[in-house]
Structure 1
Amino acid sequence: MGMNFTVQESSALYGLLAETSSDVIIKTDRDGMIVHASPGIRKLGVEPHGDVGPHLLDLVAEQGREAVTRALSSALEGRQGTRWTEFPAVTADARETWFEIRIRPLMEDSAVYGALAVMRSIDERRSLREQLFAATYTDPLTQLTNRAAFISMLEHMIAQGMEGCLAMFSIDFFRTINMKYGQTAGDDVLRVFADLLREMLRSDDIISRIGSERFAVLLPRTTPQQAQAICARVVTTMAELRQKVGDSRLAITASGSVASISESMDSTIERAELALFCAKAKGRNRLEMEKPRRAGV
């Protein structure tokens, strides 16, 4: 597949972008079949020579097909594409490689006879973006999501009217553990509890560390009775574990609470925190449900 452009194609290419060596330039026919491509297409396992090559969509992994199909269809209908579309590509080594693509129509006498596309790798940019997301929304000690992520997800659930419950947990006497055995021992306790939550909760449940020794769990589509059963097992199992702290193995306990996700974010958090306070006031190592509101209150 050589790189011979008509005057109209060269003009379209110039308007698309200032070409760089890392870009892949692709020309398709009216059906979306690749008829010309720049040498950069080799990274996708396609040789830039021969007759009509694969279809443009054959370069796109399944999860990106819908978005690229829309962009290609729009161009072949004569619309000038101005947006970049991100997608994972099918590569020769089967490794997931992310690109962005922009597609514009090729026209002669007001008739579309193909499309011109520019693809560029965005792996590095996506990696940096994912690292930034992780740094912004992940607790580095436990690798759970942090309070900022928890707030955003709870706000989303309430805005969407999703039913479910919010559970809160707090490691009992955590400050005493830190003072007596040191911060390293305290960090070990937090990691053990985080791992316990991952193991005991369901795949749909969202676990966050929201404070020094405090954790929150969003349980979508869960009734208070279901949440109570799930969270009670967490509290009981934590008390049965013997966690190595310093030279000793101690039974570390946690207190928990459950509240329905309803009304507003502030109301939901307030009711869960009040129930957690009650669990601690009643002796810790227990789970408390939010108190039902009296009519008219």
Structure 2
Amino acid sequence: MGMQFTLRESRALYGLLAETTSDIILKTNCEGFVVQASPALEQLGFPVPNMLIGPHLLDLVGHTHAGIVGDALAAAIEGGRVGRWVEFPAASADGTEHWFELQLRALTDAKGKVYGALGVMRCVDERRAMSDRLFAATYTDALTGLTNRQAFISMLEHMLDDGPDGCLALFSVDFFRAINMKYGQATGDGVLVVFADLLRELLRGEDMISRIGSERFAVLLPRTDPEHAEAICNRVVRTLGDLRQTVGESRMAITASASVARVAGTLDETLERAEMALFVAKAKGRNRLEREKA
């Protein structure tokens, strides 16, 4: 059996919800100015009890999303129906960014004429933070903090779809299995972290670095021809070979083999050409870079 309320009971229920929830319950006129709001609005810096003139709904919204919220308000007023939830960053008084979702529905009088909108704003910071953590867990290599193979494949596909204009480089730490066997896995992990940090330091800001396997790394170099890509990546190979890296309690010589190939054709073709050039680099003695054969 459904619950039915008198007008007085409905007002009491509204007051109870407005005063006890962290959601912001607000009422606007047809122009979008807030004419009534729950105390939770104070979290955005608006002193509800002292408001002589309420803010416009869009005053609560970061400028980048004003259009989205404005469209939602217009749809509610014009359509007289419950709108979909929309997400936006709130314009808080202290300058910190908090994300909210908002749903609006039209308010109508006894004759069915729309005289405003009723809205519920709900903070979604925690949910967005959880989504960010899940995204990071899905696309980030936990050891090095680089993007992982899944992210690399997506980025390479995007480069190919966007129009081939760049290069792919592959790096493989030489004799990594022997390092693990001689010094232990903790030292092997340290070698990978050292190499990841070197890649970050020596490559350009626009280059996309991923760990795609045990000791294997891939770099996408957008808008770069093979000659330039070879020069950039050779610098990594030479610098690593010239240094004795400190890993844990040991100082050891770490080297890497590398390859460069154009991003062209299909994903499999691009990877195959880069893999073949890397195989040649290892076959010629490692600690070197080979470019795909034209």
Settle same-fold status: TM greater than 0.5: yes
In the TM superposition, residue 52 of structure 1 has moved relative to its aligned partner by 2.7
Bigger shift: 103-112 or 186-195? 103-112
In the TM superposition, residue 257 of structure 1 has moved relative to its aligned partner by 1.1
**Cα gap change, 1:36 to 1:147, in 2 (>3 Å):** same
Q: 2:243 aligns with which of 232, 241, 244?
A: 241
Aligned partners of 2:63 and 2:129: how far apart in 1? 20
- Runs of 5+ in structure 2 lacking a partner? 1-6
Deviations 1:211-235 (A, max 9, x none): 0000011122222222122111111
Aligned partners of 2:20 and 2:156: how far apart in 1? 44
Contact persistence 1:168–1:216 (CA under 8 A):
yes
Q: Secondary structure at the match of 2:22?
A: coil
Q: Give the AA of the match of 1:157.
A: M
**Cα gap change, 1:103 to 1:200, in 2 (>3 Å):** farther
Match of residue 295 from structure 1: none
Aligned partners of 2:35 and 2:144: how far apart in 1? 51
Q: Which structure 2 residues correspond to residues 208-223 of structure 1 after superposition, within 5 A?
A: 208-223=210-225
Deviations 1:93-121 (A, max 9, x none): 32221111122333455654333221101
Match of residue 62 from structure 1: 63
- Runs of 5+ in structure 1 lacking a partner? 1-6, 293-297
Q: Secondary structure at the match of 2:120?
A: strand
Q: 1:154 aligns with which of 132, 156, 177?
A: 156
Q: Which structure 2 residues correspond to residues 17-56 of structure 1 after superposition, within 5 A?
A: 21-49=21-49, 50-56=51-57
Q: Which runs of 4+ in 1 moved over 6 A?
A: none
**Would you say 1:144 and 2:139 are equivalent positions?**
no
Q: Secondary structure at the match of 2:48?
A: coil
Q: Secondary structure at the match of 1:217?
A: strand
Match of residue 276 from structure 2: 274
Match of residue 201 from structure 1: 203
Contact persistence 1:71–1:81 (CA under 8 A):
no
In the TM superposition, residue 203 of structure 1 has moved relative to its aligned partner by 2.0
Q: 1:285 aligns with which of 259, 264, 287?
A: 287
Deviations 1:133-190 (A, max 9, x none): 1111111100111111111222222223352211111111111111111111111111
What root-mean-square deviation, in Å, do the aligned CA atoms of Structure 1 and Structure 2 show?
A: 2.6
Bigger shift: 62-71 or 30-39? 62-71
Aligned partners of 1:100 and 1:289: how far apart in 2? 51
In the TM superposition, residue 191 of structure 1 has moved relative to its aligned partner by 0.6
Aligned partners of 2:213 and 2:142: how far apart in 1? 13
Contact persistence 1:181–1:246 (CA under 8 A):
no
Contact persistence 2:80–2:114 (CA under 8 A):
no
Q: Which structure 2 residues correspond to residues 170-209 of structure 1 after superposition, within 5 A?
A: 170-209=172-211
Deviations 1:234-289 (A, max 9, x none): 11111122212465422211111111112111111111111111111111111111
In the TM superposition, residue 51 of structure 1 has moved relative to its aligned partner by 3.2
**Cα gap change, 1:82 to 1:274, in 2 (>3 Å):** farther
Match of residue 3 from structure 1: none
